[in-house]
Amino acid sequence: MDSVNRRDFLTRLTLATATVSLPQYAFSFNGRADEFITTDTTHGKLRGIRKDGVNLFRGIPYGGRISGDRRFRRPAPLEPWTGVRDALEFGAPAIQPPRRNEPAPSEDCLFLNVWTPANDNRKRPVMFYSHGGGFVIGSGASGGQDGSNLARNFDVVVVETNHRLGLLGFLYLDEVAGVDYAGSGNMGMLDIVDGLKWVHDNIARFGGDPSNVMIWGESGGGAKTSCLYAMPSAAPYFNKASIESGPGVRMTSKETAAETTAMLLRELNIAPKDWRKLLDIPASELLVMQGKLPFAPPFQEKNNRKSLMERRAGGFSPVVDGTVLPHNPFDPTAPAISRNKPLLVGWNEDEFTFFAWERKDTEFAKLTFETLPKRLEAQFGEDTPKIIDTYRKANPNATAPDIFIAVSSITMMGLGSVDIAEKKVKQGGAPVYLYNFGYKSEKLIPGTDYPMGTPHAMDISFKFNNEIPPRDGSAPKESFFGGNRPERFTASHHFAELWTTFARTGKPAAKDVPAWPAFNLKSRPTMRIDANCEVINNRFSDELAMWRTIGRL
């Protein structure tokens, strides 16, 4: 396998959600409810279930039809219904390969799910989560992100949406299809905004406060959150945000998006003037074509080496179209529109071990300091010796595999997170809080003696407080990524309490956790989240100084 780099970052991101969608994390309604709960919404009555002290409403429609003549456009109006509509099962996810323990994917996928302690008008903080999957897979029912424990244990309301993905969500047609398709390159993001509007109009009936909404997301969901933070249409509907292991500094330019559209039309033998033929192709065939297009890696050339999320032609992600997304989310500056909205941002210490596990890469664990340079040179070229020297001096006890993991992880997620934090501070508005998740799983990467540590996506079950002992008192089962050690329960509680307190107050805090100072450019405090949390000042200072010197930060 070639040296890992951000060249395939976004495509590997797409697997993060799928790989943790395992049977033990499937939350469909397959047993008796304690009772059924009925509530009003703007479009009709819903029936959900109360289970173990939490009210759950699944598969709530928040937008109308997006198939047929609505493909690549804003949804048809959502039609009110009469009687009581069941909200007992998850709604269809966006078009993608079939998802375990979920309904079949469908082009009409605008559904959301709500977890709340009670429908009692208590004005709890609302945590509006965008799933991972790198803009091409995932759903609001993805494994590990069940909101029951957050709602039950921390008295918050959790909301998660399905929304358009991939070609159907981000195909840029503005330049060939005319005014009716304005914003087509951002339909998936505008769907999420519609979900936020639904929250504004309805969440009070679910015990939530529409004036206290936090947007958050991991991996591709972090990049979606980055975009929402910069979108005028989203601005009225949230007042704080968290970007987790998915720093969306830059998105796709109009020029690159137009190249992708032209490439797609050529592959389908459709002339630009006949673009309407796209409306007649079955969604399943478009999904196949999406997979045939060349992958669109982020820029990594010598003349543009910064670790920023931007794609070449061939992939699908939000488009900086000047209107829906007026500019890159965090380049050249933090978005002025969210100047007064507090922000959390950070990454997992060992992001790359997820990708080694997913690819069955065992060779990295055999690296020596003689073979390490060759492994890194494909990505870093002539800078490789300086990078290795800096990391060895800063981490004198590290092995060659340790250095490889550290370098790969920080270039995937860390440099962009630091870039966002620095730009937010320079803006001089609301505070930003920088973190590293560091709880170490003892599970070994198959075929190696190297532990998972803190891989990409492991934070999902931790921050949702889904790493807890069984409620029935039985022996805990091994966590898929988190391992067997009971300390994981404490780390999960810390993570969840920090995030829910931030949702409630705009300042992260938790019992038995040190006070978390806002990030600044002098002491640069970073919260390391673990069973024992600590604030570390000027963390990775030598490494970050080196990354700046070689032009990657």
What pLDDT sits at residue 309? Answer: 46
What pLDDT sits at residue 300? Answer: 34
- For residues 323 and 230, the answer to whether their CB atoms sit within 8 Å is no
Residues 147-168: b if buried by 16+ CB within 10 A, e if exposed: bbbbbbbbbbbbbbbbbbbbbb
User: How many distinct structural domains can be found in the chain?
Assistant: 1
Residues 86-141: tens digit of each pLDDT:
999 999 999 999 999 999 999 999 999 999 999 998 999 999 999 999 999 999 99
- Domain with residue 267: its CATH number is 3.40.50.1820
CA distance 337 to 341: 9
This prediction's pTM: 0.94
pLDDT at 19 over 50: no
What pLDDT sits at residue 335? Answer: 98
As a whole number, mean pLDDT of residues 448-459 equals 98
Q: Of 474, 478, 500, nearest to 489 (Cα)?
A: 478
Q: Of 163, 185, 165, nearest to 173 (Cα)?
A: 185
pLDDT at 2 over 60: no
Considering only residues 389 and 471, tell me which one the structure prediction assigns the higher pLDDT: 389
Q: Identify whether 272 is preceded by a cis peptide bond (ω within 30 of 0).
A: no
- For residues 331 and 227, the answer to whether their CB atoms sit within 8 Å is no
CA distance 364 to 3: 9
As a whole number, mean pLDDT of residues 380-399 equals 98
Catalytic residue among 219, 242, 408, 417: 219
- For residues 413 and 351, the answer to whether their CB atoms sit within 8 Å is yes
In a domain, 25, yes or no: yes
pLDDT at 378 over 50: yes
CA distance 93 to 18: 12
What pLDDT sits at residue 27? Answer: 35
Confidence band, pLDDT 50/70/90 cuts, at residue 77: very high
Task: Quote the DSSP letter at residue 275.
Answer: G
Question: Tokens 């968290």 sit at which residue?
Answer: 242
Residues 148-195: tens digit of each pLDDT:
999 999 999 999 999 999 999 999 999 999 999 999 999 999 999 999
Residues 503-537: tens digit of each pLDDT:
999 999 999 999 999 999 999 999 999 999 999 99
CA dihedral angle for residue 65, residue 68, residue 74, residue 76, rounded to 10 degrees = -40
What pLDDT sits at residue 312? Answer: 64
Q: Of 458, 466, 464, 465, nearest to 436 (Cα)?
A: 458
Residues found in the chain: 553
Structure tokens at 83: 């009687």
In a domain, 485, yes or no: no
In a domain, 456, yes or no: no
Beta strands in 289-329 (DSSP E): 319-320
What pLDDT sits at residue 313? Answer: 74
For 444, residues 6+ apart whose C-beta sits below 8 A from its C-beta are 450, 451, 452
CA distance 140 to 219: 14
In a domain, 194, yes or no: yes
Considering only residues 3 and 551, tell me which one the structure prediction assigns the higher pLDDT: 551
Confidence band, pLDDT 50/70/90 cuts, at residue 33: low
CA distance 93 to 287: 14
Structure tokens at 496: 């969840």
Structure tokens at 445: 């990467």
In a domain, 92, yes or no: yes
Residues 236-254: tens digit of each pLDDT:
999 999 999 999 999 999 9
As a whole number, mean pLDDT of residues 393-416 equals 98
CA distance 150 to 465: 6
As a whole number, mean pLDDT of residues 486-504 equals 98
* C-alpha atoms less than 13 angstroms from C-alpha of 364 in its C-beta half-sphere: 27
In a domain, 538, yes or no: no
Share of the chain above pLDDT 70, in %: 91
Report the chain's C-alpha Rg in angstroms: 22
What pLDDT sits at residue 102? Answer: 95
Mark whether 307 is an active-site residue: no
Full 3-state SS string of 198-257:
HHHHHHHHHCEEEEEEEEEEECHHHHHHHHHCCCCCCHHHCCEEEEECCCCCCCEEHHHH
Residues 150-163: tens digit of each pLDDT:
999 999 999 999 99
Residues 257-300: tens digit of each pLDDT:
999 999 999 999 999 999 999 999 999 999 999 999 876 544 33
CA distance 547 to 64: 47
- For residues 24 and 480, the answer to whether their CB atoms sit within 8 Å is yes
For 249, residues 6+ apart whose C-beta sits below 8 A from its C-beta are 226, 306, 308, 309, 328, 329, 330, 331, 416, 419, 420
Structural domain boundaries enclosing 268: 8-348+414-436+499-526
pLDDT at 397 over 80: yes
44-51 and 35-41: which strand pairing? antiparallel
As a whole number, mean pLDDT of residues 383-400 equals 98
- For residues 283 and 93, the answer to whether their CB atoms sit within 8 Å is no
Residues 305-330: tens digit of each pLDDT:
444 445 567 789 999 999 999 999 99
In a domain, 63, yes or no: yes
Residue 190's φ and ψ, nearest 5 degrees, are -65, -30
Per-chain mean pLDDT for the chain: 92
What pLDDT sits at residue 395? Answer: 98
DSSP for 345-385, written as a single string: EEEETTTHHHHHHHHT--GGGG--TTTHHHHHHHHHGGGHH
- For residues 162 and 102, the answer to whether their CB atoms sit within 8 Å is no
As a whole number, mean pLDDT of residues 333-362 equals 97
Confidence band, pLDDT 50/70/90 cuts, at residue 213: very high
Residues 434-449: tens digit of each pLDDT:
999 999 999 999 999 9
In a domain, 12, yes or no: yes
